[in-house]
Amino acid sequence: MNTIGHLFRLTSFGESHGAAIGGIIDGCPAGLSIDTEAVQQELNRRRPGQSDLTTPRDEKDRVEFLSGLFEGTTTGTPIAFIVRNENQHSKDYSNIKDLFRPSHADFTYYAKYGIRDYRGGGRTSARETIARVVAGAVAKQLLAPLGITIQAFTSQVGPISLEKTYKDYDLSLTESNAVRCPDPTVAEQMSKLIREVKAAGDTIGGVITGVATGVPVGWGEPVFDKLHAQLGAAILSINACKGFEYGLGFDVNRRGSEVNDAFFADDHKVQTRSNHSGGIQGGISNGQDIYFRAAFKPVATILREQPTIDKDLNPVSVKAEGRHDPCVLPRAVPIVEAMTAIVLADAWLMAKAYSPVS
C-alpha cells in the first residue's frame, strides 16, 4: 500500500510518465512554519543531472503545495503536494513494452496487476521517491526544533568503502562532492569507479550510512513497532535497497562482554560508553546516536544486451537506451534521510500520545 506511518503519514502517488508525482502528508501538527525553499533544496539533491555521475535527464521537479498551509504555516490539515512530470521521453520505452527487463519489476507488476504502465518504469520508477523526499523535508523541519539532525552519506561503492565509523568524519563535507561521501579522497576514488562502470555500460552497488543525532530517549513502540523495525521497513522500501542493519548489525562475531554498552551518568544524563546498540535498546531510543547502514544493489538497467522473455514467453533480447544512473547511491542519500525523518516524526507523535499519565 502507499501509506507509511501511524500518525505522521505519507500517502504517495504517481508514475514516471503520468501527469505528476506527489503525496499527502497527513498528521503533521499545526503551527509549523514551513520553509518551502528548503523543501525544494532537498528535492534538488535527489534530482537527476546534478553531475556526470548521475543520469543527464534534466528534471526540474518543482514542488507545488496544494493544501494544509495557511500563510506558510501548517494548519493541522493534510498537506498535499505535486511535482509535475516534465521532460519525459515516452518514446524511449516503447521497445520494452512487451518484455520483462531482467531484475526489474516488469514481470511482477504484470503478473500481479495484469497491466503495467511500462513508460519509464511507471510506479516502480525512482521518480516515486520524489514524494518521499518532500515528506521527509517537512519531517526534518518538524524535528529540527527538537535538536534532531539526520544525515546520510555514501559509505561504500563497489569495493571502495570508508574504513572508519561515522564519528570520524566531518559529515558536513558530504555535500561537497557528487558521490556524497564525507571523505573527499575516498569520494574521488568512488567517482572514478562510477565513471568507469558507466563507460562500460554497467552499474555498481554500494552502501549508505544514516545517522540521527539528538533523538530523545523513549521513541519507538514495542513489540512490533520497535524503532529499528520501523526504520528498517522504511529504508528497505526504497528502490534497490537489499539490506538494513543498525548498531552492531551483521558484525556478529562478537562476545557480549565485548559489545555490551556500559551505562554511566554524565551531567545527570544517562549515557553509554560505547554504542553498539545503535541508539536503540529494546526497540526504544536511548538518547545515543542512531546509526544504520543500507545496502543498495547495482541498478538493474544496464546499457548492454541481455537475454530475457516477452509476455508470450518468447526469448528476446533487450538493451537499454536512454539516460540511466550507473550507481544509485549518490541520489539515494537524500531519500535515506527522508525516510529516516518520516519514521522519526511518526515516532515522536506516538511517544507524545503514549506519554505516561503520572
Q: Which residues are CB-contacts of 225 (< 8 A; sequence separation ≥ 6)?
A: 6, 283, 350
Q: Which is nearer to a copy of itself, 62 or 304 (CB)?
A: 304
Q: Which residues are CB-contacts of 148 (< 8 A; sequence separation ≥ 6)?
A: 212, 213, 214, 215, 344
Q: Which is nearer to a copy of itself, 37 or 258 (CB)?
A: 258
Q: Which is nearer to a copy of itself, 145 or 172 (CB)?
A: 145
Q: Which is nearer to a copy of itself, 19 or 56 (CB)?
A: 19
CB of 1 to a copy of itself, least distance (A): 5
CA–CA distance, 234 with 256 (Å, rounded to integer): 29
Q: Which residues are CB-contacts of 253 (< 8 A; sequence separation ≥ 6)?
A: none
C-alpha 248 chain-centroid distance: 21
CB of 128 to a copy of itself, least distance (A): 6
Closest CA to 186 of 169, 209, 167: 169
CB of 299 to a copy of itself, least distance (A): 6
CB of 185 to a copy of itself, least distance (A): 19
> Which position has the grid cell 514495542?
222
Q: Which is nearer to a copy of itself, 174 or 288 (CB)?
A: 288
Q: Which is nearer to a copy of itself, 176 or 263 (CB)?
A: 263
CB of 172 to a copy of itself, least distance (A): 26
> Which position has the grid cell 565509523?
165
Q: Which is nearer to a copy of itself, 37 or 172 (CB)?
A: 37
Q: Tell me the DSSP string of 11-30.
A: EEE--TTSSEEEEEEE-PPT
Q: Provide the Cα torsion 15, 321, 105, 107; round to 10°.
A: 120
Q: Which residues are CB-contacts of 249 (< 8 A; sequence separation ≥ 6)?
A: 278, 292, 293
Closest CA to 157 of 328, 300, 275: 328
CB of 125 to a copy of itself, least distance (A): 10
Evaluate whether 324 touches 318 at the Cβ level (below 8 Å). no
CB of 84 to a copy of itself, least distance (A): 9
Beta strands, E only, 71-142: 73-74, 79-84
